[in-house]
Chains A and B, each alone.
Chain A
């Protein structure tokens, strides 16, 4: 029937979809040429793509438990790789990463290393084994391996805190993009974003999220690569800039002392959230503290990657253990395409603004000239950019140019003077990135609550229809809560994302890994590992965030470095103090390590 055909026809379906998207871009370019306004094109881009995702969500509706929770376990590795990449690359990766590199220089690259290196841990330590286990959710593994409702419950709590921290940042990002593209207030944009997200996930659960995420990946990667490649050609760095922009890095290092990068601002930033550039592009300091900060951040991000429930659950959707492993390799490949482009984008954009030999340069030009540039006016009017003349010499210096880091990606096409159709494309890409991650996160939370809390703990006799209705109601409630919290704009996108990683690695990393790799790990040990690790990390976060003090340079982005060792020591000590797990559990661990044969949990449970 349709289903079998659907899986076989996937390459054709998505090939056709990609072609259709390219045709749409060309159509928009033609509309721009015949004089349709930039605003209309931006609106068409966002509306058209969101409507497609919603359509896929509607077509994938289901009332089957295994389709709802694990997409029927029939997702081929390459497609699961794309879906995971979209699930993974959030609004932060798409919108903020290049901006972070632009402002943070080398120190910020710890995120790039951490967010890719984490997949080596996922592949070696967890994904194939969790797939063999056959669980629906991450707490499902903890609950079964360690037994007892307490372990399951604690895992659910950690999952909810982690994913909720993360999801508010994503809904915030969808709101920001929707607000700018559709010209609506941010508070309305947040709810528009949420509506799109729910349309993708509510009717079809994991199945719908999988197929929309594949579609979203295609949009976001096209949107990310197109401006970079275009800009590279304009600047003469060749078709693919990735291997040739070393020159640009050298040129920036040459210009930095001339432009006095690092000088403090004379005036205060005219509005909140915008700042001047003070870090050198490639300036690793020769100090132990600097190196320590780099590797601790990378380590938190890597261990966090391997413990994030919304990522791990993607590997439950493949047909076999082997295909779970293969899909990890494809995931990293698809993620890599964006992550090795982001530093190129940051470098080329910086060069555009700096290099007096380029027409696009602003630093060193007269203030009047700069203030009259179209893109400067646009972004100044929304308070995301400011040009001041602190020393009153009529020339723009580096410490008089204020910018919000997030806008580097969104403004790049305008800075480089690319046609507006590219800006519309980038907005659609940012929307796809934020929506796909929000989908995965909301589903992870709602599934853990409906499967682990409601079905496994509260009402084990509930029938299928009831379970799936509860799951959907929870999805709406959590989405609405997320939108409410997001509309307060409590933290920046990046802060919230780094916190989610640290929460995850503090509470879940060792209980998950040792559950597979150490037969001696006991229920009490796992409970101690989760509670004390998560607790220690959270208390440290609260202390360092409120007092501003810190140990060994571990700021609020790195509190996983406190949580993880506490978790490990607590888990090992308590496990050794309690009697070894019984024969049945030991057998279960052995079975988990054997890639062949049936899953440990029944196909439908």
Chain B
């Protein structure tokens, strides 16, 4: 029992760390870069001004990749802790 609760604590710590990393990336691409849109527009990226590109595509692509990455990592964290919940799948 104590082992499984230690397991759970570690699982939650790792989950929390992953969430913090994800939220930092989210903050950078959802808010921070757009604050500097005007300066970034000086840079050209595949034919677009970069600030504009990030708002129409760049940030969006990062969000999609970020969620897939997070779920892939979270699946690993869950399996390592034996808490994947697979036994209820079906």
Q: Which residues of A contact B (CB under 8 A)?
A: 106, 109-110, 112-114, 116-117, 119-121, 123-125, 128, 242-244, 246-247, 249-250, 282, 284-286, 291, 294-295, 298-299, 302, 319-323, 325-326, 328-329, 332-333, 336, 339-340, 343-344, 590, 593-598
A244 to B38, CA, bound (A): 21
- A329 in contact with B85 given A116-B59, A249-B49, A319-B90 (CB within 8 Å): no
> Could you say which residues of chain B place their CB within 8 Å of the CB of A112?
55-56, 60
Tell me which residues across on chain A come within 8 A of B41, comparing CB atoms: 282, 284
Contact check, B67 vs A332: say whether CB atoms are below 8 A apart.
yes
Chain A residues with CB under 8 Å of B86's CB are 320, 322, 596
Question: CB distance A291 to B29 under 8 Å?
Answer: no
Q: A319-B90, A595-B83 are in contact. Are A332 and B63 (CB under 8 A)?
A: yes
Contact, CB under 8 Å: A124 / B63: no
Q: How far is the CB of A484 from chain B (nearest CB, A)?
A: 37
Q: Mark B66-90, 1 if CB is under 8 A from A, else 0.
A: 1110110011001000111111111
Q: How far is the CA of A244 from the CA of B48 in the complex (A)?
A: 9
Among the listed B19, B31, B64, which residue makes an inter-chain contact with A299, where contact means beta carbons less than 8 Å apart?
B31
Q: Which of A117, A120, A294, A328 contacts B37 (CB 8 A)?
A: A294
A595 in contact with B84 (CB, 8 Å) = yes
Tell me if A332 and B87 are in contact (CB < 8 A). Answer: no
Q: Are A286 and B38 in contact (CB under 8 A)?
A: yes
Q: Decide if A121 touches B67 in the complex (CB within 8 Å).
A: no
Q: Complex: how many Å from CA A332 to CA B26?
A: 14
Residues of B1-23 contacting chain A, CB below 8 A: 8, 11-12, 15, 19, 22-23
Determine if B78 and A294 form an interchain contact, defined as CB atoms under 8 angstroms apart: no
CB contact under 8 A between A246 and B26, given known A291-B34, A320-B88: no
Selected contact of B78 from candidates A242, A246, A322, CB within 8 Å:
A322
CA distance A75 to B23 in the complex (A): 28
Whether A596 contacts B68 in the complex (CB less than 8 A), given A116-B63, A322-B85, comes out as no
State in angstroms the CA–CA spacing of A250 and B60 once bound together.
Answer: 21
Q: Measuring CB to CB, which residues of chain B are less than 8 angstroms from any residue of chain A?
A: 8, 11-12, 15, 19, 22-23, 26, 29-31, 34-38, 41, 46-49, 51-53, 55-57, 59-61, 63-64, 66-68, 70-71, 74-75, 78, 82-90
A580 to chain B, nearest CB (A): 18
Assess whether A113 is in contact with B46, with CB atoms less than 8 Å apart.
Answer: no
A106, A319, A340: most-surrounded residue (chain B CB, <10 A): A106
By the criterion CB–CB under 8 Å, are B11 and A291 in contact?
no
Interchain CB contact under 8 A, B87 and A596: yes
Measured between alpha carbons, how far is A299 from B22 in the docked complex, in Å?
A: 16
Residues of chain A within 8 A of B55, CB atoms compared: 106, 109-110, 112-113
> What is the bound-complex CA distance between A322 and B83, given in angstroms?
11
Q: Which residue of B lies closest to A120 (CB)?
A: B26
Give complex CA distance A125, B49 in Å: 33
**In the assembled complex, which residues on chain B have CB atoms less than 8 Å from the CB atom of A594?**
8, 11, 83
CB distance from B10 to the nearest CB of A (A): 12
Could you say which of A117, A319, A325, A590 contacts B63, with CB atoms under 8 Å apart? A117
Count chain B CB atoms within 10 A of each CB in A121, A243, A247, A595 and give the residue with the most.
Answer: A595
Are B26 and A329 in touch, CB under 8 angstroms?
no
Residues of A near B52 (CB, < 8 A) are: 106, 109, 249, 282, 284
**CB neighbours of B87 from chain A (8 A):** 596
Find out whether the CB atom of A284 lies under 8 angstroms from the CB atom of B51: yes
The distance from the CB of A345 to the nearest CB of chain B, in whole angstroms, is 11
If over half of A's interface residues share one DSSP class (helix, strand or loop), that class is named, otherwise mixed; here it is helix
Partner of A595 from B26, B70, B78 at Cβ < 8 Å: B78
A-B CB contact pairs (8 Å), 28 listed: A113-B55, A116-B63, A120-B23, A123-B67, A124-B70, A244-B47, A246-B53, A249-B48, A249-B52, A250-B47, A284-B37, A291-B36, A294-B35, A319-B88, A320-B89, A322-B85, A323-B89, A329-B64, A329-B71, A336-B60, A336-B63, A339-B60, A340-B56, A340-B57, A340-B61, A593-B12, A594-B11, A595-B84
- Find chain B residues with CB under 8 A from A119 CB: 63, 67
* Assembled-state Cα–Cα distance A300/B52 (Å): 20
CA distance A244 to B63 in the complex (A): 21
Q: Are B85 and A291 in contact (CB under 8 A)?
A: no
Q: Which of A120, A343, A598 has the most CB of B within 10 A?
A: A120
A242 near B68 (CB under 8 angstroms)?
A: no
| Interface-central residue, A243, A284, A294, A323, by most chain B CB under 10 Å | A284
Given contact pairs A120-B22, A332-B67, A595-B85, enumerate 18 new A-B contacts (beta carbons under 8 Å): A116-B64, A120-B67, A284-B52, A285-B38, A295-B31, A298-B30, A298-B31, A299-B30, A319-B90, A320-B88, A320-B89, A325-B71, A328-B71, A329-B68, A593-B12, A593-B15, A596-B83, A596-B86
Contact between chains at A322 and B84 (CB < 8 Å) = yes
Contacts of B64 in A (CB 8 A): 116, 329, 332-333, 336
Which residues in A have their C-beta under 8 angstroms from that of B74?
Answer: 128, 325
- In the bound complex, residues from chain A placing their C-beta under 8 Å from that of B29 are 117
Q: Is A295 a contact of B35 with CB atoms below 8 Å? A: yes
Residues in A whose Cβ lies below 8 Å from that of B48: 246, 249
| Residues of chain B contacted by A284 (CB below 8 angstroms) | 37-38, 41, 51-52
Chain B residues contacting A328 (CB-CB under 8 Å) are 67, 71
Are A120 and B38 CB-contacts (below 8 A) given A113-B60, A282-B52, A595-B83? no
- Please give, as numbers and ranges, the residues of chain A lying within 8 Å of B89 by CB-CB distance: 319-320, 322-323
Q: A124 near B30 (CB under 8 angstroms)?
A: no
Rounded to whole Å, the gap between the CB of B34 and the closest CB of chain A is 5
Provide the bound-state CA to CA distance between A33 and B64, in Å.
41
B71 contacts which of A114, A326, A590, A596 (Cβ < 8 Å)? Answer: A326
Contact check, B19 vs A322: say whether CB atoms are below 8 A apart: no
Taken together as a complex, chains A and B put the C-alpha atoms of A104 and B90 apart, in Å, by 47
Beta-carbon nearest neighbor of B88 in chain A: A320
Q: Are A116 and B60 touching (Cβ within 8 A)?
A: yes
B60, chain A: closest CB distance, angstroms: 5
Question: When A and B form their complex, which 5 residue pairs have the shortest distance between CB atoms, in order from nearest?
Answer: A246-B47, A117-B30, A246-B48, A596-B85, A109-B55
Identify the closest chain B residue to A328 (Cβ): B67
Q: What is the CB-to-nearest-CB distance from A101 to chain B, in angstroms, rounded to a whole number? A: 8
What are the residues of chain B within 8 A of A302 when measuring CB–CB? 30
Residues of chain B with a CB closer than 8 A to A344's CB: 56
